[in-house]
């Protein structure tokens, strides 16, 4: 049995944290603003902040950190579900084996490419491939063939993969096929709850799942994404569990997570639950996002369309750096809707162009950048840049260039007007005048028809 997650330590930290005074909370907030992260006992104390004035200070600190590390950029992507067939029976999920109401489908490689092209036609450049776990149908070769075909036939420049745990040799195949980030959620870090929620199938093995990240690293995949499914168990436990997991692999492999996702449990057609066991309210959800931002400032935070439109907009300032848009959660969904094939109910139904308008209205700059992994700025190398906040010198220009491309190829008149204004402002924010000049030159090249320019 792996011992990454020490439940007694978590409960002990939580117990002690309850007595934390306002003065100490403020000291922790001040430390977080140095952008060097927080330890578990500090995080535990922030998790108990309830007083309104302190909560405001906490959210403000997260905004400050987000701005310092990430600037005004928001990276966009779309999920592509290749299959909803699954041999597991995760009680919370619409794809679970016992859901007889679900229309099951595994896309062929041709159908997957057609979905990728439909996503590309929205204006996306980055895809997250997702599927259920069915060894006969969604094995690694299914993913690899899909990736190779998409890279070959569509202008998709980064494919991330969210799939069940694999053996090292299978992760190597994903690596060879050009995976961006490998994403896997532990769902819950509490063994007992995990056992209850995953009664049968390969996913019933907590240890096989929590060691997936290790095997991905061993296979050479050094951009990994983690997450806890919020709503299964006490969120305070989950946040500490996730950070403990992060500490353990960071210690062994020298690299932290590239991203943390914050999936919040949503009702699903044919799920095996009567209600959400530990519902996380909006206030606590905001606090969780802010605390992740403070605890691991250099890690991207991903927010999906599980959340409502106006709430997503609010979360952008607090710490979220990547969002999905125009998403479908059923295989084949970009070509044809089928709400009897969805994994869960999407809350934010805005199209990508609408989302881009909102991002601009809020003073942020959308980014379709996929440069880092193509320039080998992954894993440790990426962390070096990010921790030194040097990532700014690449990211801001790349956001400008990729958004300009998007405006030229897909922008409506309204979006173009808003977007060009934001691009102009973002250019003036590039402090290094040489880089600003180079960005301006590349912008002209894009206007003259060149594509895929980046630093």
d(CA 128, CA 112): 12
Closest to ligand SF4 by CB, 42 vs 133, is 133
What string of DSSP letters covers 336-392?
A: S--TTS-SS--S----HHHHHHHHHHTT-EEE---HHHHTT--HHHHHHHHHTTTTH
Closest to ligand SAM by CB, 120 vs 134, is 134
Q: Which two tokens stand for residue 346?
A: 């999407």
Beta bridge partners of 224: 182
> Is 38 a binder of ligand SAM (CB under 6 A)?
no
120 binds, among ligand SF4, ligand SAM, none (CB under 5 to 8 A by kind): none
d(CA 369, CA 297): 20
> Is 107 a binder of ligand SAM (CB under 6 A)?
no
344 binds, among ligand SAM, ligand SF4, none (CB under 5 to 8 A by kind): ligand SAM
> Is 46 a binder of ligand SF4 (CB under 6 A)?
no
Q: What angle do CA 427, 181, 221 make, to 5 degrees?
A: 125
**Region of 83-91, 113-121, 216-224, 306-314 interacting with ligand SF4 (CB under 6 A):** 83-91
Nearest to 287 by CA among 39, 80, 13, 51: 51
Minimal distance, residue 363 CB to ligand SAM, in Å:
30
**Region of 125-133, 142-150, 283-291, 416-424 interacting with ligand SAM (CB under 6 A):** 125-133
Minimal distance, residue 88 CB to ligand SF4, in Å:
4
Q: Is 266 helix (H, G, I), strand (E, B) or coil?
A: coil
> Which H/E stretch holds residue 49?
none
163 binds, among ligand SF4, ligand SAM, none (CB under 5 to 8 A by kind): ligand SAM
Minimal distance, residue 17 CB to ligand SF4, in Å:
31
Which residues within the stretch 112-171 sit at the binding site for ligand SF4 (CB under 6 A)? 132-133
**Region of 129-137, 347-355, 361-369, 436-444 interacting with ligand SAM (CB under 6 A):** 129-137
**Region of 145-153, 264-272, 394-402, 420-428 interacting with ligand SAM (CB under 6 A):** 264-272
Are the CB atoms for 232 and 277 separated by under 8 Å? yes
> Is 344 a binder of ligand SAM (CB under 6 A)?
yes
> Which H/E stretch holds residue 406?
helix 392-410
d(CA 189, CA 237): 8
Closest to ligand SF4 by CB, 154 vs 265, is 265
Side-chain half-sphere CA neighbours of 384 within 13 A? 8
Work out which of 126, 203, 306, 392 binds ligand SF4, going by CB under 6 A. Answer: 203
d(CA 335, CA 114): 8
Work out which of 88, 324, 327, 406 binds ligand SF4, going by CB under 6 A. Answer: 88
d(CA 146, CA 452): 22
Are the CB atoms for 125 and 158 separated by under 8 Å? yes
Closest to ligand SAM by CB, 256 vs 263, is 263
> Is 318 a binder of ligand SF4 (CB under 6 A)?
no
Nearest 5°: phi and psi at 349? -100, 10
96 binds, among ligand SF4, ligand SAM, none (CB under 5 to 8 A by kind): ligand SF4
Beta bridge partners of 227: 261
> Is 125 a binder of ligand SAM (CB under 6 A)?
no
> Is 86 a binder of ligand SF4 (CB under 6 A)?
yes
Tell how strand 126-131 and strand 73-83 pair up: parallel
Which residues within the stretch 80-99 sit at the binding site for ligand SAM (CB under 6 A)? 92-93
Minimal distance, residue 163 CB to ligand SF4, in Å:
9
Residue 43 CB neighbour total at 10 angstroms: 23
Closest to ligand SAM by CB, 170 vs 187, is 187
Which residues within the stretch 211-240 sit at the binding site for ligand SAM (CB under 6 A)? 229
Work out which of 85, 115, 134, 162 binds ligand SAM, going by CB under 6 A. Answer: 162
Q: How many positions of this chain bind ligand SAM (CB under 6 A)?
A: 20
> Is 93 a binder of ligand SF4 (CB under 6 A)?
yes
Q: Is 61 helix (H, G, I), strand (E, B) or coil?
A: helix
Tell how strand 322-324 and strand 365-367 pair up: unpaired
Residues 6+ apart with CB under 8 A from 41: 13, 16, 17
- Interacting residue ranges for ligand SF4, rule: CB under 6 A: 86, 88, 90, 93, 95-96, 132-133, 203
- Interacting residue ranges for ligand SAM, rule: CB under 6 A: 92-93, 130, 132-133, 162-164, 184-185, 187, 229, 263, 265-266, 268, 271, 306, 343-344
């Amino acid at each position: 049995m792996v011992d990454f997650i020490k439940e007694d330590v978590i409960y002990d930290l939580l117990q002690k944290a309850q007595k934390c005074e306002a003065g100490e909370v403020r000291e922790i907030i001040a430390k977080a603003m140095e952008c060097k992260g927080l330890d578990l006992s500090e995080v535990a104390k922030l998790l108990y902040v309830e007083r309104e004035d302190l909560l405001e200070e906490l959210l403000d600190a997260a905004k400050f950190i987000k701005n310092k590390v990430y600037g005004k950029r928001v990276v966009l992507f779309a999920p592509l579900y290749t299959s909803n067939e699954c041999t597991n029976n995760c009680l919370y999920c619409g794809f679970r084996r016992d859901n007889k109401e679900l229309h099951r489908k595994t896309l062929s490689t041709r159908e997957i490419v057609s979905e990728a092209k439909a996503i590309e036609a929205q204006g996306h450049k980055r895809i997250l491939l997702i599927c259920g776990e069915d060894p006969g149908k969604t094995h690694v070769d299914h993913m690899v063939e899909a990736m190779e075909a998409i890279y070959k036939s569509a202008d998709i420049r980064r494919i991330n993969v969210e799939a069940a745990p694999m053996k090292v040799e299978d992760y190597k195949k994903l690596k060879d096929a050009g995976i961006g980030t490998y994403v896997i959620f532990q769902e819950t870090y509490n063994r007992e709850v995990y056992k209850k929620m995953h009664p049968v199938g390969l996913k019933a093995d907590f240890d096989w799942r929590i060691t997936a990240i290790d095997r991905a690293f061993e296979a050479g995949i050094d951009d990994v994404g983690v997450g806890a499914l919020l709503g299964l168990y006490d969120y305070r436990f989950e946040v500490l569990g996730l950070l403990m997991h992060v500490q353990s692999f960071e210690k062994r492999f020298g690299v932290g997570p590239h991203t943390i996702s914050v999936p919040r449990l949503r009702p699903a057609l044919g799920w095996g639950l009567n209600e959400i066991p530990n519902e996380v309210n909006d206030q606590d959800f905001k606090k969780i996002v802010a605390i992740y931002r403070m605890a691991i400032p250099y890690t991207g935070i991903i927010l999906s369309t599980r959340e409502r439109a106006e709430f997503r907009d609010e979360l952008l300032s607090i710490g979220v750096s990547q969002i999905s848009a125009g998403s479908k959660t059923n295989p084949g969904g970009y070509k044809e809707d089928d709400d009897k094939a969805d994994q869960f109910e999407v809350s934010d139904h805005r199209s990508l162009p609408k989302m881009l308008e909102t991002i601009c209205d809020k003073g942020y700059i959308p980014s379709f950048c996929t440069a880092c992994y193509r320039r080998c700025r992954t894993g440790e190398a990426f962390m070096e840049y990010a921790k030194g906040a040097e990532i700014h010198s690449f990211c801001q220009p790349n956001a400008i260039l990729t958004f300009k491309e998007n405006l030229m190829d897909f922008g409506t008149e309204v979006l173009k007007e808003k977007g060009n204004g934001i691009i102009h402002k973002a250019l003036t924010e590039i402090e290094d005048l040489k880089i600003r000049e180079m960005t301006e030159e590349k912008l002209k090249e894009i206007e003259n028809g060149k594509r895929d320019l980046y630093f």
